[in-house]
Structure 1
Amino acid sequence: MRLTRVTTAELDRLEFHAVRSGEHAKVAAQLLELANQVDAGSEISRAELFVRAGEQWEFTQEYERACAAYQRAIDDGAATVVDARALRAGALLHLDEIGQAYAEFERLEADEPSSLQTYLHVAESLYAHDDLAGAERWATEGARLFLDQVGDPYVDDLLQELLRIRFRIRADLGLAEDALDRCTDTD
């Protein structure tokens, strides 16, 4: 097997192709193949390639394949933009594997995720599956953890996205506005 290096530009090219062509399954297979061939010096880690493959499988609603790709990312152990456990739990919800999904969320929560994207993904997943209380808890925790990092444009955008979904969730729950709601940019 020939080891290869994968760049962000190559990954972007593949993902843009999937969006333009709708060939998500084909791109997922290519990403898995790359993950199996990537070397340690690659700009994109093996785990991140597994995660991206799983996301492509989700676009085709092949949640079992997505779960398998996410599990490979978890087993690899390298950091990913969104924690692979959160992604796997979301895919498990689509498969109606509720107990397994919530066990994954609990393990993730116990480790206190370090990325704002992970909190956003979990809040969105739980909201989409009608667990408003859980979604509000994750959104609130993520907002509190990252509110002090305001000033970084990337963090600012993600934080506003998290605050907006939190606001919608709280409105659906009939909760009164609080200090975090007032941090939401409504422009």
Structure 2
Amino acid sequence: MSIDLGRVTAMGRDSRRAAIERAEALEADAENSGERTDDLVEAADYWRTAHEPERERAALLAAIDADTGESLFDPRATYAEMLMRLGERAEADRLLNELMGDLNSREHTYIAASGAYQHAGDTATALRWLHIGITRLIPDATDPETELAVNDDGVELLRIRREIRTDLGQPPDELDHALDRISEAAFGPAGPFAEAACEPGFVEKFVDAMADRHDVVVLHWPAEDLAELRRRAPALPLAPDHDAHLLELQREMLLADRDGKRATLVTGSADGYAAFCAEAELSTGDADSAEQYRTDLLLRGEWRSWPPERNAPCWCGAERKYKKCCGAPGRTDS
């Protein structure tokens, strides 16, 4: 099997044109929408998808000029993230140090600042920004009596923090346990989303609602779990072996990326899938059940962004750098 490079190239051109049209529309809307800063930051994201760094830069600088501190997005932190991504670390550091002395209550500030240092491979500073945001937005997160919802400001910082710490091989701590409590309260048997997650069409509704953040979501099975699933649920459509499974997922995420879409990864387990199906009264051999399980993992915040940095551990769980494992040159060519 091989990737149709002609099709990929055509898809890339179509995606770029669509991204440019969307960016231009947002910039036009920004003049009269009353949400100029957010519109311009969103336009910058589309310029990034279109591989237009100077247009991205211009949109963010205009957003910074328009910012009153009341927008959802923080344009200064977003601009610093762009600088870091483009290799302009000195200027990014300067801007983020300046921002550190003028912090606000926007969750996005801490997400973007953390993302900037993740681009630079500086996970210690990325975690520091997340800790600052958590302390500011949800100072009582570790208190079991504190009631927090999955969509409260600060909870996304807990999820990103756990993702980084998991990649580093660090054990769960009190903040990780706090995130577990929040997820269980929302999606456990007595949670407000438990019944909805089993309703027909829920997956489609959820994907539509989260499309701006999770365009393509793939379900990864570790080797032992894939083998166990093939034994327990032979009717479930699965790859013939683990290497084929990894190759299939890498291709899917690569094609998503080339189409300007965000790829997200969730990792399942055979036992977790069985428990989910038993609780939801679903057949383990049905592909729709696997899709609902994938969505349940996503809802619980148990997802990871893709791709990892080239020198970071590979997403597949192998003890190798991404660039020498699933991201190795030629890996998906045949």
Select the residue among 94, 109, 112 that pairs with 2:100: 109
Select the residue among 25, 30, 45 that pairs with 1:30: 25
Task: Give 1:45's aligned residue.
Answer: 35
Quick one: which amino acid aligns to residue 108 of structure 2? Q
Instruction: Give me the whole-angstrom Cα distance separating, in 1, the residues matched to 2:25 and 2:159.
Output: 35
Q: Give the TM-score normalised by the residue count of structure 1.
A: 0.74
Query: Aligned pair count?
Result: 160
Quick one: which amino acid aligns to residue 61 of structure 2? Q
Select the residue among 151, 170, 175 that pairs with 2:148: 151
Counterpart check, 1:58 vs 2:51 = no
SS in 2 for 1:56: helix
Q: Give the TM-score normalised by the residue count of structure 2.
A: 0.43
Runs of 4 or more consecutive aligned structure 1 residues displaced over 6 Å after TM superposition? none
Instruction: Give me the whole-angstrom Cα distance separating, in 2, the residues matched to 1:65 and 1:100.
Output: 18
User: 1:90–1:125: 8 Å Cα contact kept in structure 2?
Assistant: yes
Select the residue among 105, 119, 123 that pairs with 1:128: 119
Task: Give 1:70's aligned residue.
Answer: 60
Q: What is the CA deviation profile of residues 140-167 of structure 1, one whole-angstrom value per residue up to 9, with x for unaligned ones?
A: 1112222248535521xx6343212212
User: 1:74–1:85: 8 Å Cα contact kept in structure 2?
Assistant: yes
Instruction: Give me the whole-angstrom Cα distance separating, in 2, the residues matched to 1:60 and 1:131.
Output: 27
Select the residue among 146, 170, 178 that pairs with 2:173: 178
User: 2:81–2:115: 8 Å Cα contact kept in structure 1?
Assistant: no
Structure with the bigger percentage of helix: 1
Instruction: Give me the whole-angstrom Cα distance separating, in 2, the residues matched to 1:99 and 1:73.
Output: 21
The structural deviation recorded for 1:92 is 0.9
User: 2:37–2:73: 8 Å Cα contact kept in structure 1?
Assistant: no
Identity of aligned residues (%): 32
Instruction: Give me the whole-angstrom Cα distance separating, in 2, the residues matched to 1:80 and 1:25.
Output: 23
Instruction: Give me the whole-angstrom Cα distance separating, in 1, the residues matched to 2:71 and 2:50.
Output: 22
Structure with the bigger percentage of strand: 2
User: 2:67–2:75: 8 Å Cα contact kept in structure 1?
Assistant: no
RMSD: 2.4
The structural deviation recorded for 1:77 is 2.7
Instruction: Give me the whole-angstrom Cα distance separating, in 2, the residues matched to 1:89 and 1:130.
Output: 15
Task: Tell which structure's C-alpha radius of gyration is larger.
Answer: 2
Task: Give 2:80's aligned residue.
Answer: 89
User: 1:82–1:121: 8 Å Cα contact kept in structure 2?
Assistant: no
Q: What is the CA deviation profile of residues 45-81 of structure 1, one whole-angstrom value per residue up to 9, with x for unaligned ones?
A: 2222211211211222322221211111111133321
Instruction: Give me the whole-angstrom Cα distance separating, in 2, the residues matched to 1:129 and 1:58.
Output: 18
User: 1:123–1:134: 8 Å Cα contact kept in structure 2?
Assistant: yes
User: 1:63–1:94: 8 Å Cα contact kept in structure 2?
Assistant: no
User: 2:84–2:119: 8 Å Cα contact kept in structure 1?
Assistant: no
SS in 2 for 1:184: helix
